[in-house]
C-alpha cells in the first residue's frame, strides 16, 4: 500500500474515529457501528478502506470479524511526518 493511499484513508473523519475507537482495543463491526449514525454498510466500506490501507487488521472469531489497529503503519506515518517537519 502506498503512502498516498494511507493518507487518503486517514483523510476521512469517520475512518479517523474508527481508528480512535480501536486504540481502546479490538472490536467487531457491530461494536464499531454503535458509535456512528450511518448504516452498517457504510461502516463496512470504511473498514474495507482502512484494511486496504493496512491501517487495521482483521481476524475471524466464530461468526464475528474482529478488527485490530495496525500500529506499525501509524508509526511509519508519524516518522515520515517528523522527517517532513525537520526539513522545513
Radius of gyration (Cα) for the chain, nearest Å? 14
From the number of C-beta atoms within 10 Å of its C-beta (0-12, 13-18, 19+), residue 28 rates as: middle
pLDDT for res 1: 59
pLDDT for res 9: 94
pLDDT in tens, the chain (88 residues): 577 888 899 999 999 999 999 999 999 999 999 999 999 999 999 999 999 999 999 999 999 999 999 988 777 777 777 777 776 5
pLDDT for res 2: 74
Distance CA 81, CA 37 (A): 32
43 in Cβ contact with 36 (< 8 Å): yes
pLDDT for res 42: 97
Instruction: Output the pTM of the full model.
Output: 0.84
pLDDT for res 87: 63
pLDDT for res 5: 83
Amino acid at each position: 500500500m502506498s503512502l498516498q493511499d494511507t493518507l487518503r484513508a486517514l483523510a476521512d473523519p469517520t475512518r479517523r474515529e474508527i481508528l480512535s475507537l480501536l486504540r481502546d482495543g479490538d472490536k467487531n463491526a457491530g461494536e464499531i457501528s454503535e458509535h456512528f449514525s450511518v448504516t452498517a454498510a457504510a461502516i463496512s466500506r470504511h473498514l474495507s478502506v482502512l484494511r486496504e490501507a493496512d491501517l487495521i487488521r482483521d481476524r475471524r472469531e466464530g461468526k464475528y470479524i474482529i478488527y485490530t489497529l495496525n500500529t506499525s503503519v501509524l508509526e511509519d506515518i508519524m516518522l515520515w511526518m517528523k522527517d517532513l517537519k525537520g526539513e522545513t
